[in-house]
A and B are shown apart, each in its own frame.
Chain A
Amino acid sequence: MLRFILGRLAVLIPTFLGVSLIAFSFIRLLPGDPVMLMSGERVMSPERHAELMNQLGLDRPMYIQYFDYLGGLVTGDFGSSIVTKRPVLDDFLQLFPATLELSLCAIIVAVCLGIPAGVLAAVKRGSWIDQTVMGAALIGYSMPIFWWGLLLIIFFSGYLGWTPVSGRISLMYFFPQVTGFMLIDSLLSGQAGAFKSAVTYLILPTIVLATIPLAVIARQTRSAMLEVLGEDYVRTARSKGLAPLRVVGIHALRNAMIPVITTIGLQVGVLLAGAILTETIFSWPGIGKWMVDSVFKRDYAVVQGGLMLIAGVIMLVNLIVDLLYGFINPRIRH
């Protein structure tokens, strides 16, 4: 097992190098530079511009800047924001719980609804249930996330007035951040109504963010189940006189989960990408919104560091998925 984990970690090194190169170069491909954008409407003399660029070290040759950045990464230094001067890692750690909370809620919703929906569609193959589930999944998968978010806001927040439009909790509540997770902190605060407020603020972003993973998981579960339901061991299970729920829920589902777990792991990447749009739509103060703001300000250090940290999270999740395989599929473990 240890060898397996070390092997997986070794593969991460070239991946990290690749991501660092992409993160470093792509933000620099955009026109404009941080100094120009900081000056805003004010006119800045070319001398002053050059001086500031020199101060920030941005006038050095690209490869020196890259290796300087890489050296920092190795020692755990992700640099500091050009705009706020705060260390990138500090900002990330402060904002990440908001994104994590939203993403976890979304993936829980997607898994809890997607797997049963896929199983039901497979068991009732060809029926109206199957067609409804798969039709809904196709629509969910095809929908542009920002448009779907705006539709929900218009209907539920604007027209019905059921849910708030943006933010994480009502301004009426104020309490110290303990865990960074609003649901937990609101409970810990003991303030009446705080938890309920946090939930209402979470509902719409969660639905928007969960839509695509939900659709993908439902479709993947259905196709994996269809394959497994035709296997000999499912016939054996039925020939033992087991109840249908046991045949489908234990014998078939356990085998069908192997490809579904892969899909769920890959959806984490989609979630974090989706979080960027969702957080922007709902002004959710997480890393997605932070990254978008930094791109607009050409805050090189934040974009580079943020991308590296997000990539790290995705790689960590995929490592966990690889380990889960061994748990679910004994043919890998032995």
Chain B
Amino acid sequence: MSLLEIENLVVEFQTASGPFRAVDGVSLKVDEGEVLAIVGESGSGKSVSMLAAMGLLPWTAKVTADKLLFNGRDMQKMSDADRRKIIGREISMIFQEPVASLNPCFTVGYQIEEVLRVHTDLNRKARRDRAIELFQLVGIPNPEERLGHFPHQMSGGQCQRVMIATALACNPKLLIADEPTTALDVTIQKQILDLLMKLQAEHGMGLIMITHDMGVVAETADRVIVQYKGRKIEEADVLSLFQNPRSVYTKALLSALPENAVGGRLPTITENLTDQQIFEGAVR
């Protein structure tokens, strides 16, 4: 049984000019201990499909799916209250902008202990001990002191570590990382990725890594899904994808990597491809 199983997920937003389909028939599976990367350019529906799975989209979004199972439980048939018992505890998510993702009015300690208060029976002292332990786990120095700090007193990298610690607080089975390194500078990106991979291996969690960075994919993923304009274009294990891409879009995506540049000029993905060619060349 897969940890997360999604079949034919469709997300539509009601806009002034009619419904807009952001995700169009995406299917995916993630197993325990597996790292799945979802790659695609901005607007390809990577984040929206994961937010939809967690039930975090605004009410203007209409989400339908043939199957939306977490650990064998149907997320679509669950009440909101039951879903809230799963998200934050069994499925957690970290986001792209770590500083903006933390509430500026509360200390980071409050924000991490809050998850424990909602999802566990730990008392105040135990929650604080667990928070300190989590801060140590993600490599935040002086955790006792740091718990009393506000997000604006920390760097972007530190805030992302806080987010990761918060996400790991209840030992989730699945962690969804939505471009966790995009807003950070290169050296910090490496540290955060290494940390995520280490924790994933130690805890045996399923990890869904949403990214548009093929370098991150190569370094982290077991399996890769390529998305374009809300549709799945290709799914493959990471080696096959890089060595033997089958869809025209994936080939174009890889040839646009700086290390693959020929003749001192980088091709853009869509300059030689129309949407029709991309969708016709899709390998599901």
Contact = CB atoms under 8 A, between A and B. Distances in A.
Given A232-B100, A235-B95, A330 B105 contact: yes
Interface stretch (B34-42, B66-74, B80-88, B226-234): B80-88
Interface stretch (A34-42, A111-119, A201-209, A238-246): A238-246
The size bracket of the interface on B is: 20 to 34
Contacts of B163: 236
Contact of B106 (A238, A242, A254, A334): A254
A141 B278 CA distance: 56
A330 B56 contact: no
A334 B101 contact: no
A236 B118 contact: no
Given A231-B100, A232-B95, A239 B88 contact: yes
Contact of A242 (B84, B92, B95, B152): B84
Most chain A CB within a 10 A radius of its CB, from B95, B105, B115: B105
Contacts of A240: 87-88, 92, 114-115, 118, 166
Given A236-B95, A330-B150, A241 B103 contact: no
B210 interface: no
A85 interface: no
A3 interface: no
Interface in A233-278: 233, 235-243, 246, 251, 254-255
B102 interface: yes
Most chain B CB within a 10 A radius of its CB, from A246, A328, A330, A331: A330
A239 B92 contact: yes
B97 interface: yes
B101 A235 contact: yes
Contacts of B95: 232, 235-236, 239
Given A232-B100, A334-B150, A334-B152, A243 B105 contact: no
A3 to B, nearest CB: 20
A236 B106 CA distance: 13
B118 A241 contact: yes
Given A254-B105, A255-B104, A330-B104, A241 B152 contact: no
A257 to B, nearest CB: 9
A239 B100 contact: no
Contacts of B88: 239-242
A331 B118 contact: no
Contacts of B166: 240
Nearest to A233: B103
A57 to B, nearest CB: 56
A334 B153 contact: yes
A205 B135 CA distance: 56
Interface in B114-150: 114-115, 118-119, 150
Interface string A178-206: 00000000000000000000000000000
B89 interface: yes
A232 B94 CA distance: 11
Given A235-B95, A331-B150, A334-B153, A242 B105 contact: no
A240 B167 CA distance: 8
B102 A236 contact: yes
Contacts of A243: 84, 118
B93 interface: yes
A131 interface: no
A330 B100 contact: no
Contacts of B238: none
Contacts of A251: 103, 106
A25 interface: no
A239 B87 contact: yes
A54 interface: no
A329 interface: yes
Given A240-B166, A241-B86, A232 B93 contact: no
B100 A241 contact: no
Interface in A112-140: none
Nearest to B54: A239
Contacts of A328: 105
B104 A241 contact: no
Contacts of A237: 103
Contacts of B56: 235, 238-239
A233 B152 CA distance: 13
Contacts of B119: 241
A246 B103 CA distance: 13
Nearest to A257: B105
A237 B119 CA distance: 13
A153 B157 CA distance: 63
B87 A241 contact: yes
24 contacts: A231-B100, A232-B95, A233-B102, A239-B54, A239-B93, A240-B92, A240-B114, A240-B166, A241-B85, A241-B86, A241-B88, A242-B88, A242-B114, A242-B118, A243-B84, A243-B118, A246-B118, A251-B106, A329-B104, A330-B105, A330-B152, A331-B150, A334-B150, A334-B152
Interface of A: 231-233, 235-243, 246, 251, 254-255, 328-331, 334
Given A329-B104, A334-B152, 7 more contacts: A235-B101, A237-B103, A240-B88, A240-B118, A241-B85, A255-B105, A331-B104
Interface of B: 54, 56, 83-89, 92-93, 95, 97, 100-106, 114-115, 118-119, 150, 152-153, 163, 166
- Nearest 4 pairs of A and B residues by beta carbon: A241-B88, A240-B88, A232-B100, A233-B103
